[in-house]
Amino acid sequence: MPEHLHPPTIGTAPDPAVVVARTLDWYAGQARDLPWRRPDCSPWGVMVSEFMLQQTPVTRVLGPWQAWLDRWPTPAALAASPAGEAVRMWGRLGYPRRALRLHRAAQAIVDDHGGQVPADLEELRALPGVGDYTAAAVASFAHGRRAVVLDTNVRRVLSRVAAGEGQPPAHVRASERARAEAHLPRAAGRAARWAAASMELGALVCTARNPRCEACPLVDLCTWNLAGRPEETYRPRTQSYEGTDRQCRGAVLAVLRDAAGPVATTELRTAWPEHRAGGADQFERALTSLAADGLVTAIGAEHWALPGD
C-alpha cells in the first residue's frame, strides 16, 4: 500500500508528509479558480486580496478586488490618491480601517521598496497593517516563498487532523506554530502550494460548522474524526451585528462615502436616528471612534469628511 494511503493508529497524529501529499492531490482537482491565484496576478494583486479577505467571505471580495485593481493596478497608483478615496472605494466590505492600512502600506512600498511589493518576511511585516499572517501569505502566494501561513482555516485543519481538537483556540499557541512547521514542505514551491491547499480544505470541507468529513481526503487520518469528533473545548463566538457600534460606524461612513464633500453633523445624525438602539450617545461614540481611527476628518466645528476630501 502506498505510504500516502496508510491510516494512522487511533490516538496518534498522522505523518505530516502523508497529510501534505493527500491535501495537495485533493487541491489539484478541487481548487477554486480565484483571480488572485492565477499566474498573471501581480504581487500587489495578491496583497490587496489578503487585506480584503480578512474577516470577509470570498464571494463578497471578488467584485471589489477587481474594481480596486482596475483603478489602482500598482501600489504607486494607490499611494498617489487621497486616503479618503481608498475608504470610499472600500465600500461595504466592512472593517474600513483595512482601506487606510492598505493605503499606508502602498505609500511605504513606494517610499521604501521602489514601488514593488517585497518578498522578504521582515520587510513585509514592517509595512503598515501587515501582521504575521499577511506577511507569510504574501511571501508565499505572491512570491512562492517558504512560510508558515496560519489563518483560521489552516489552524482548524491542523487542530483536527493532528491534535484531535474540534476548533483551534482564540489565539495562536506555540504548539500550533510547531505543528505547522512540522507540516511545511522543505521545497519552497511545494510549501506555497501546501499553504493554499490547506487553506482551501478548511474553507470548503473542514469548515467550522457542519464539516463535510465524507468529502475530506484526510478523513481516515484525522485524529478528531477517529476519536468520534469530540465536543470542542473552544467554541467560536457568534455576535449579532444589529444595533452595534460597528453598524453605527458603517451607517455614518456610508453617508460620507456617498457625499461629494463635507457633510454637516446634523445631516450625519440622520444616519443613526435617536430611536435606534444606542441613540445619540452611540452616534457620538461612533463618530469619535471614526475620527480617532483616521477614517473621518473634522472640517471646522460642524462638518465632517473622508480624509483628503
What pLDDT is recorded for position 194? 98
- In the chain, where are the structural domains located? 245-305
Question: Is 50 known to be catalytic?
Answer: yes
Confidence band for 308, pLDDT divided at 50, 70 and 90:
confident
Confidence band for 9, pLDDT divided at 50, 70 and 90:
low
Confidence band for 1, pLDDT divided at 50, 70 and 90:
very low
What pLDDT is recorded for position 272? 82
Cell of 151: 489563518
Averaged confidence pLDDT in the chain: 90
Q: Using CA of residue 169, residue 171, residue 173, residue 178, what is the dihedral sign?
A: positive
> Measured between alpha carbons, how far is 224 from 208 in angstroms, rounded to an integer?
13
Alpha helices in 184-263 (DSSP H): 188-204, 223-226, 245-258
Confidence band for 3, pLDDT divided at 50, 70 and 90:
very low
What pLDDT is recorded for position 2? 45
Q: Is pLDDT of 192 > 90?
A: yes
CATH class of 245-305: mainly alpha
Contacts of the segment 269-277: beta carbons below 8 A, 24+ positions apart: 272/248, 276/243, 276/248, 277/242, 277/243
Strands 263-264 and 297-299: unpaired
Q: What is the pLDDT of residues 200-256, one digit of tens each?
A: 999 999 999 999 999 999 999 999 999 999 876 555 555 677 778 888 888 888 888
The residues, any chain, with a CB within 8 Å of residue 96's CB and separated by 6 or more, are 87, 90, 250, 253, 295
The closest alpha carbon to 117, from 128, 104, 105, 100, belongs to 105
Q: What is the pLDDT of residues 43-92, one digit of tens each?
A: 999 999 999 999 899 999 999 999 999 999 999 999 999 999 999 999 98
Query: Which of the residues 3, 50, 176, 284 is marked catalytic?
Result: 50
Contacts of the segment 111-120: beta carbons below 8 A, 24+ positions apart: 115/74, 115/75, 115/76, 116/43, 116/75, 117/42, 117/43, 117/44, 117/46, 117/47, 117/75, 117/142, 119/43, 119/143, 119/145
> Measured between alpha carbons, how far is 39 from 76 in angstroms, rounded to an integer?
22
What pLDDT is recorded for position 274? 66
Q: Is pLDDT of 5 > 80?
A: no
